[in-house]
Amino acid sequence: MTGLRILIGCETSGVMRRAFAARGHDVWSCDLLPAEDGSNRHIRGDVREILDDGWDLMAVMHPPCTRLCRSGRRWMSGPGKWTPPKQLPKGRTWTSMRAEFEKGVDLFTACWRAPIKRVAIENPEMNDLAKDRMPADLPAPQIVQPFWFGEPAYKATGFYLRGLPFLVPTKHLTEPERGSDDWKAWSAIHRAPPGPDRWKIRSRTFTGVAEACASQWGGHDVEAQQAIQ
């Protein structure tokens, strides 16, 4: 055995898939959308349909989280829990918003409970409504930043981990002075204007982060597995 059989769920860019593949792993990405790089190692479909296919490690990179994250809480409830929100996005109903919330909970829970030894799910820190619906064994996420891994950018990213260690920074950059031109450039993701591709810009995985995941998680416990073979 020279590597792991790895599933990269909810990814179209191929950034994470390629990082693991470069290290000799049998890795496949999966998403409802086609792979942007045209790879033949991309499964187009619902990741939940292949969770039982004998994977050693799964990284779910961009599951729908708009209704689960703290920034989206105001659209789900007013004061307290599950009271009518003060405002809704234009053209949306509270019923449709709650339906999206339920879909997000179902997908996240299915992936967390998958029969896979090592699991990493990328998701921002959740709001209280989402936390109430999560599995009891879900730990607090590790929050990382791209600049910990040589990428001059701000994007707080949470990883919920099972059977995997916290990521260790590989090339921690010095942060620019707040308000400076460099600081504004680092904040480009958060400053992205509204548009049809805004979700893609905000969800893309940084190469430095993917390289760290592949190096640190791809080698985790492989030696122990080889000893058993």
pLDDT at 225: 42
Residue 223 has pLDDT above 70, yes or no: no
pTM of the model: 0.89
Segment 79-106 shows an average pLDDT of 94
**CA dist., res. 7 & res. 150, Å (int):** 25
pLDDT at 22 over 90: yes
CA-wise closest residue to 160 among 114, 202, 206: 114
Average pLDDT of span 125-133: 94
Give the Cα separation of 86 and 6 in Å (integer).
43
Query: Residue 156 and residue 125: Cα distance in Å, rounded?
Result: 9
φ, ψ for residue 144, nearest 5 deg: -120, 165
Give 170-202 pLDDT, tens digit per residue: 999 999 999 999 999 999 886 655 555 544 555
Higher pLDDT residue, 8 or 90? Answer: 8
- Residues of the chain above pLDDT 90, percent: 80
* Residue 44 pLDDT greater than 50, yes or no: yes
The pLDDT score that the predictor gives to residue 196 is 55
Cα–Cα distance, 217 to 23 (Å, whole number)? 11
Check whether 120 has a pLDDT greater than 90. Answer: yes
Q: Give the confidence band of 62 by pLDDT, cuts at 50, 70, 90.
A: confident
Question: Tokens 């479909």 correspond to what residue?
Answer: 45
